Amino acid sequence: MRNTLAIARKELTIYFTTPWAYMVFTAMAFISSFFFIGYLSEFKEVQLWARQMGWARLPSEYKNLTDGVVVQLWGAVLIITLFVAPFLSMRLFAEEKRQRTFELLMTAPVRPIEIVLGKYLGGVGAISATLGLTIVYPLILAAFGSSESGSTLEWSTVALGYLALLLWGATCMGIGMFISSLTESQMLAAVLNFAVLLPWWLLSFLTRSAEEPFRSIANHLSFGVQVQNLIKGVLDLKALVFFASLILFSILLTHRSVEAQRWT
Amino acid sequence: MAMIEVKNLTKRYRDRVAIDSLEFAVGEGEILGFLGPNGAGKSTAMKILTGFLPPSEGSARVAGFDVFEQPLEVKRRIGYLPENPPLYPEMTVRAYLKFVGRLKGVKDLGQDIERVARATGLFEAGVLDRLILNLSKGFRQRVGLAQALLGSPPVLILDEPTEGLDPRQRAEVLGLIRRLRGKHTVILSTHILPEVKETCEKVLIIHRGKIVAHDAIGKLSGGEAGLEDVFIKLTAA
């Protein structure tokens, strides 16, 4: 445990002393703010429209700021995460191998699983910091928005959606860490990770014309489908188990890959 | 008692044999010079001893523990400086040494860092709070050495520790290694022969993965021919 924390701490130190993390933060803040402004003005327009045409005809997803702006925004942040997470996970093992510091870790009195968990914790810390930037949007809405009935935002929905974001970020880092453990090249790790995450996300879309039962299976495995309920604030236990097992599986695979060093 | 015991150690990469049935022992407190031309298999042997690489055949024991069966026990007792010092350029020297010390579970880490930094001249040079990125090759090599000395492990495995140092730094590092005699068991690899004469009691010469000589330094270089001639003769062909 002590070793795991020492490694996690080192990972975070390095993340925050290299430009990569700041580039990822900037990208996240910049792109998500565009989406935020876009969803907010769309919400305003729909409200104006409803004022003239009658509230009864207002589509249900525009009834409040939570569904009209935050849930939509979380959807966009999920996609941004898919694009930026590989830039954070790529260095986890690839950089150690290229720099020959992998030798230091592997000859220190540390178990391979402690190395893997330490690195994973560090990576999750970095992606959580990135996602943490987006908390500012619901806070802005809560401070400046208003609602005719009850509080401005439905906080339980917002929080569950945010939890889904973190879970998704942690999944991206897990898969990214495994891919990073397979190569010495950071760029290759990032590209490969991206090539895995994107089709997996779109699995249900890519197989929509496939035959049954293949289509249903693909639907169940698709990231995009699994995360939908959570994002909307529905506590979907199946999705939680799905992502948790993916994370666990990635950690185990990475452990195998690091252990394999002792057998080659 | 032998601190390091190597039996029939062989490492093959597909059909290339990197080291071939090495067999030797190093007594407690001894300094063994590990000699051989480039590519003779010195680094491979050291990587196996430190538990980084598995052997294809044979066994190695450090302080009575098998490197493959009880790797953690072995790793706790070894300080290792690989051929390329394993440094994180983004960290300061102090942060780096703290990290390695934590991994090794060193007690009184602050004091121990000061001790190894003084021993390697990092303290006097005032580079502890500089980024490793900005250090010269000589300083990086010394940071690597400081890292190996952290926690005073009973066994030190140093792969070309004087590589990249200027003559004065070389003399300092060799002096440091000489002072380890008796307290630490050291394997020192190098291809600079005068260094071996100054520091080691025993010499092991390997060539193409095989031991071609293993004797006290006095016997090898004592005859008419010096150590250089012996080395060139043994590693010819």
- CA A5 to chain CA centroid, nearest Å: 22
Q: Which residues of B make CB contacts under 8 Å with A?
A: 47, 50-54, 68, 71-72, 75-76, 78, 80, 82, 84, 86-91, 95, 99-100, 102-105, 147
Is B99 within 8 Å of A6 when comparing Cβ atoms?
A: yes
d(CA A96, CA A89): 12
Question: Which one-letter amino acid corresponds to residue A112?
Answer: P
Per the CB < 8 A criterion, the answer to whether A138 and A158 are in contact is yes
Kindly provide the ipTM of the predicted complex, given to two decimals. 0.91
Q: What is the pLDDT of residue B225?
A: 62
Residue A64 per-residue DSSP state: S
Asked if the Cβ–Cβ distance from A106 to B91 is below 8 Å, we say no
A33: pLDDT strictly greater than 80? yes
Neighbours of A90 (CB within 10 A): 26
Range with the lowest mean pLDDT among A30-39, A203-212, B138-147? A203-212
What does the buried/exposed string (b/e) look like for A104-127 if buried means 16 or more CB atoms within 10 Å of the residue's CB?
bbbbbbbebbbbbbbbbbbbbbbb
Look at residue B10 and give its three-state secondary structure: strand
Q: What is the per-residue pLDDT for B171?
A: 86
More confident residue, A150 or B68: B68
The mean pLDDT value for A16-22 works out to 90
User: Which helix or strand (DSSP H or E) is residue B190 part of?
Assistant: strand B185-190
| Mean pLDDT of all residues belonging to chain B | 89
Q: Could you identify the residue written with the tokens 């051929």?
A: B83
Distance CA A236, CA A40 (A): 27
Q: Is A54 helix (H, G, I), strand (E, B) or coil?
A: coil
Give the A:B interface size as CB pairs under 8 Å.
Answer: 72
**Residues of chain A contacting B, Cβ within 8 Å:** 2-3, 6-7, 9-10, 13-14, 17-18, 99-111, 261-264
What is the pLDDT averaged over residues B205-224? 79
Give CA separation, B65 vs A231, B6, B20, B56, in Å: 53, 11, 22, 18
Which of A9, A104, A111, A114 should one mutate to test binding to chain B, selecting the residue with the greatest count of B CBs within 10 A? A104
**Token representation of residue A9:** 């701490």
Distance CA A187, CA A194 (A): 11
Q: Which of A17, A99, A110 sits opposite B103 (nearest CB)?
A: A110
H/E element holding B157? strand B155-159
The residue type found at B75 is: K
Token look-up 């069966």 returns: B69
Domains, chain B, in order of start with CATH, read 1-77+155-237 (3.40.50.300), 87-153 (no CATH)
Residue B65, C-beta contacts closer than 8 angstroms, at least 6 positions apart: B73, B74, B77
Q: What percent of chain A has pLDDT over 70?
A: 99
Contact A103, B86 (CB under 8 A): yes
- Residue with structure tokens 């987006």? A134
Nearest-neighbour CA in chain B from A163: distance (Å) = 32
pLDDT of residue A170: 97
Q: At residue B182, what is the residue type? A: G
Nearest in space to B159 (alpha carbons), one of B32, B13, B6: B32
Determine phi and psi for B187, rounding to 5 degrees: -110, 125
Q: Indicate the residue type of B229.
A: D
pLDDT, position A166 = 95
Confidence band (pLDDT; 50, 70, 90) for B237? Answer: low
Query: A13 is written with which tokens?
Result: 């130190």
Does B72 sit within 8 Å of A6, measured CB to CB?
A: no
Residue boundaries of the structural domains of chain A = 2-263
Q: What is the pLDDT of residues A181-237, one digit of tens each?
A: 999 999 999 999 999 999 998 887 887 777 888 888 888 888 888 888 888 888 889
Chain B residue closest to A15 (CA)?
A: B90
B90–A18 C-beta distance less than 8 A: yes
Report the C-alpha gap between B49 and B111 in whole angstroms: 29
Residues of chain A contacting residue B134, judged by C-beta atoms under 8 Å apart: none
The answer to whether the CB atoms of A17 and B54 lie below 8 A apart is: no
A105: amino acid identity, one letter: L
Distance CA A183, CA A7 (A): 20
Lowest mean pLDDT among A45-49, A52-56, B97-101: A52-56
d(CA B39, CA B235): 12
- Work out the number of other CB atoms within 10 angstroms of the CB of residue A150: 8
Lowest-pLDDT range of A165-169, B121-125, B168-172: B168-172
Residue B155 binned pLDDT confidence (cut-offs 50, 70, 90): very high
User: Minimal Cα distance from B83: which residue of A?
Assistant: A100
Give the model's pLDDT for residue B224.
58
Nearest chain A residue to B88 by CA: give it.
A101
Structural element, H or E, at residue B206:
strand B202-207
Task: Select from B75, B76, B88 the residue whose CB has the most chain A CBs within 10 Å, as the one to mutate to test that interface.
Answer: B88
Contacts of B236 (CB under 8 A, 6+ apart): none
pLDDT-based confidence at residue A75 (cuts at 50, 70, 90)? very high
pLDDT at A59: 78
Q: Is the pLDDT of residue B227 over 80?
A: no
- How far are the Cα atoms of A89, A154, A159, A205 from residue A171, in angstroms, in the given order? 11, 26, 18, 20
User: Is the distance from CB of B38 to CB of B85 less than 8 angstroms?
Assistant: no
Other Cβ atoms less than 10 A from the Cβ of B228: the count is 12
Segment A120-160, tens digit of pLDDT: 999 999 999 999 999 999 999 888 887 777 777 888 889 99
Q: Taking CB atoms and an 8 Å cutoff, what residues of chain B touch A14?
A: 88, 90-91
pLDDT at A26: 95
What does each C-alpha distance from A30 to A22, A35, A77, A80, A94 come to in angstroms?
12, 9, 11, 11, 28
The structure tokens listed for A205 are 């879309």
* The residue count for chain B: 237
Pairwise CA distance, residues A57 & A65, whole Å? 17
